[in-house]
Structure 1
Amino acid sequence: MRMVYADQMVGCPREPDDMTLSSSDRHTADMPAHAALPRLAAPLLDEAICCAGRVAAAGEPDGGPNSAVDGNADSHADSNANADPELIHRYRVSLRQLRCLLWAYAPLLPAGMAHAWRTRLGTLADLAGPAREWAVLATELAPHFLPEDPARAQPLLRALEQQVARETAACRRAMRDAAPAAVLSSLRATLADWSAVQDRSPPLDAFARQRLRDAYRILRQRAARAAADADAEAVAKAAAQADTGTRTLHRTRIAIKRVHYLTVLFAPALARPAARRVKSLRRLQLHLGRANDTTVALMLLDPSAPRLCGRHLRRLVRGRLSCLNSRYEAQARRALARARKRLKP
């Protein structure tokens, strides 16, 4: 009999970027910050639990939840394949948003609590990392590096699709084994228990403004470092010192995401409308995301390429991806240089 997972038959509650307090909850802005935390975390927890359950259930054969391990993983991964990439992406985004929220609340939470839970959430996100990375490579980046000759392109495209299927099947099995819903339910209870015993904290609006200022300060520091890497001397130094410039861009991208997510989550508690700032942050995130995707793609292809294609095609693919990566990194640094003066709450 087929196991039914929670939320399998219904859609997940909201899209990740819409996860903020509704208009009916705007009075939460006047709450003490500690009282608002469970309410802010609730839609993120709901989203992560829902997406994890649907991903785990999607590839489950009729024989039961463990049959996929013994059967053909590729065939199981093909079922509901169209929904998998989006569900996996939403699962990872909701966990990133939770980690950002815990970062913001670290000064109020008991020492070490935010760090410990952020680490656990990072481990849960890693369950879906390879599946998401291969999906991006096969769908978003492949058109940029596939050979023009269909006879040469089709075998590589099929090999990439099979790799995505394998990673997706592995992701589903990992979801079943790790039981993210239990971990996330424990976090929900932990936050509720902590909030219930607190009797004093700053109002949410003042707390949100201060933590956004802190997040912007970190972002400005990292953006300045990343923009400096655009100098010829810095680029040469980065090339000689194991992609220092790429790591700097990645750290800046994480800081942009933190500011973006906190701006969305705290929007009802902020005096100024957040829509314009979110739009600007998304543009920056897009530039740095492209650079990161191509960097990850090159890392994925290095050990896997011999299995995916022949030597000559491998050289062509890597050359095109390397050129694309260089162009995207240059665009990202220019975008950061233009936006640096506007990076403030």
Structure 2
Amino acid sequence: MVDMDADWPLPRPLSLNKENRRPAVSSISDTGSVASTFSSLAIPVVAEAVQRAKGLSTHCEAEAFHQLRVAFRKLRALYWAYSPYLGEEVTAQATEEFKRLAAVAGETRDWDIAGDLLTAAQKSRASMQLLVAATRNKRAQAVVHSQRMIKSDDVESFLNDVLLRAQVTLASRCNDLPIQGFAENRIRRAQRSLRKRSKYASRNESVHEEDLHDVRKAGKKLRYLLEFFQPFINGGHTRTIKELASVQNKLGQFNDIAASETLIRGTSFESVPPEVVQESLQWLEKQKCRRMRAASQRVRSIASDV
């Protein structure tokens, strides 16, 4: 039995390599337990999230916000994988906050994507210049909001707390259970989820946006889990990871358009004439239909192959 009142050390953020500014990867044993492996996998991602949160106060590049969002998404996938032993309460409390922080971090990136798309449209539609300028202002506002909402000290405290709580919980429930069978089981569940959502999205000739979005999320979860658990499972999965990345690229291109359309439609632009906003929405709609067809083809191709 684990002593819940014991003096557990808080995980320290790992140092980043100066060349690529990514956390050093801790050594992982393929014979570890379910509990010990969680720590080996989670600590580097937590460290990266903490470091990137700290960097937001001095850097406002879109990629910095995007990589912070990716770190939170990876943690959501990892907590889902370990949820059978973490329990509903621990998993839900952590993943809901991961989701919220990822959304806040993504606001700047979303405006960058919308701005880039409208800049491309502006080449043939000079009238969109006002809207392009307005999106830059919205992007600047998003940076300030994200910096205000994501305080590095708060993020570090929260991540250390949920990580420690998960470590204690797992040590009391699965400290001696081998990792391989567990990892393979969770990957199979993620594969079934992706297959199910892909088949559901492909059931009709006309694919719905929400269905493609569900496939995209399921594909991300599977890809992250394969990357996490690859050292512990039989068979090479590098090809599968690459194929999932390719599918995600197509779905991501569609999602960029769809998300930008929603963003523009739901935003008030006082300095932009309504007809210019409407023109941009019409352009985005056409682009969305084109990318939706390409994304749908990829989804149908993986529906029976996952």
Q: What TM-score, normalized by structure 1, do the two folds share? A: 0.78
State the alpha-carbon separation in 2 of the partners of residues 149 and 332 from structure 1: 26
- Per the alignment, do residues 308 and 210 of structure 1 end up closer, same or farther by CA in structure 2, a change over 3 Å counting? farther
Name the SS for the 2:134 alignment partner. Answer: helix
Equivalent residue for 2:106?
A: 129
User: 2:91 is matched by which residue type in structure 1?
Assistant: A
Describe the superposition over 1:176-205 as per-residue Cα deviations: whole angstroms up to 9, x where unpaired.
Answer: 298211111112221232344345453212
Q: Which runs of 5+ in 1 are unaligned?
A: 1-5, 59-79, 236-244
Written as runs of structure 1 = structure 2, the 5 A alignment for 1:31-50 is 31-50=32-51
Equivalent residue for 1:289?
A: 252
- Per the alignment, do residues 316 and 303 of structure 1 end up closer, same or farther by CA in structure 2, a change over 3 Å counting? same
> Is contact 1:294-1:321 (8 Å) kept?
yes
User: 1:146 is matched by which residue type in structure 2?
Assistant: Q
State the alpha-carbon separation in 1 of the partners of residues 257 and 121 from structure 2: 11
State the alpha-carbon separation in 1 of the partners of residues 284 and 121 from structure 2: 6
> Is contact 2:85-2:174 (8 Å) kept?
no
Equivalent residue for 1:63?
A: none
1:317 aligned to 2:292?
no
Identify which of 187, 190, 194 aligns with 1:215: 190
Q: Which runs of 5+ in 2 are unaligned?
A: 1-13
State the alpha-carbon separation in 1 of the partners of residues 266 and 166 from structure 2: 42
> Is contact 2:31-2:178 (8 Å) kept?
yes
1:30 aligned to 2:28?
no
1:176 aligned to 2:151?
yes
Structure 1 residue 280: Cα displacement: 0.3
> Is contact 1:146-1:317 (8 Å) kept?
no
> Is contact 1:8-1:53 (8 Å) kept?
no
Q: What TM-score, normalized by structure 2, do the two folds share? A: 0.87
Deviates more, 1:100-109 or 1:298-307: 298-307
State the alpha-carbon separation in 2 of the partners of residues 157 and 8 from structure 1: 36
1:197 aligned to 2:198?
no
Count of residue correspondences: 293
State the alpha-carbon separation in 2 of the partners of residues 192 and 102 from structure 1: 11
1:265 aligned to 2:228?
yes
User: 1:320 is matched by which residue type in structure 2?
Assistant: W
Q: Identity of counterpart residues, as a percentage?
A: 23
Equivalent residue for 1:224?
A: 199
RMSD after superposition: 2.6
Describe the superposition over 1:235-277 as per-residue Cα deviations: whole angstroms up to 9, x where unpaired.
Answer: 6xxxxxxxxx111111111100000100111111122222211
> Is contact 2:131-2:277 (8 Å) kept?
no
